[in-house]
Structure 1
Amino acid sequence: MNSLSSHVLDTAAGKPVANLALQLTTPDGTIVHAQTDNDGRCNQWANTQFVAGNYQLRFSVEAYLVAKHGESFYPFVDVNFTLPEDGGHYHVPLLISPYGFSSYRGS
């Protein structure tokens, strides 16, 4: 069985990003909306079953970056990834700043 979590950190401020909107698109096209908690983490996906396939995780970063830093080059960041059958837990962190971002498979 697969599970998914994420964590968003503002590298310019050195802090987690709370209340950031996330949108998960599952292999069958279902869209699940969520947001980060006060520590910038998200693992609440409305009882989504994480079957094998391609997923897209959209982070809506623009409003946060403009409010915090006065500008943002990116309106959102999309991270596409593939989950295998019964792969276990997957963690998708996102590091953001007004003019850059980075993501990787975490643990």
Structure 2
Amino acid sequence: MSGLSTHVLDAVTGSPASGLEVALQDASGTELASAVTDADGRIGAVTTDTLEPGIYHLVFDTGNWFADNDIDGFYPEVDICFEIADPESHHHVPLLLSPFAYSTYRGS
């Protein structure tokens, strides 16, 4: 199964970060797609397009999400740069978010 998905969790409360806008960009910064996390903090398909091998960015609009949730945060956005080598593979890029730290990993 190919594709690109993400899941954002509020690491402070242990809750899904719902309503967070995420943009997919290519290496030049051109926006290819955007979506908003659902009630479970997930975007099951950031894009329906097949992503060719290359460098991509998922840009999480954390500043607006923090503001919407009355949280003073340090990071106005989180930009996760990653590389797709096999376009036939599924790529899952999760984000664990708190006001003053974040973490990511390649999920499954």
Q: TM-score range by the shorter chain?
A: 0.7 to 0.9
The C-alpha deviation readout for 1:61-85, integer Å capped at 9, x for no partner, is 1122234353010000000000013
Q: Which amino acid aligns with 2:50?
A: Q
Report runs of 4+ in structure 1 exceeding 4 Å deviation: none
Match of 1:31 in 2: 32
Identical aligned residues as a percent: 37
Equivalent residues in 2 for 1:3-82 (5 A)? Answer: 3-27=3-27, 29-68=30-69, 70-82=71-83
Q: TM-score, normalised by structure 2?
A: 0.87
CA distance in 1, matches of 2:17, 2:97: 9
CA contact (8 A) 2:4 2:47 kept: no
CA distance in 2, matches of 1:83, 1:62: 27
Bigger shift: residues 8-17 or 81-90: 81-90
Q: TM-score, normalised by structure 1?
A: 0.88
- Report the count of equivalent residues: 107
Unaligned runs of 5+ in 1: none
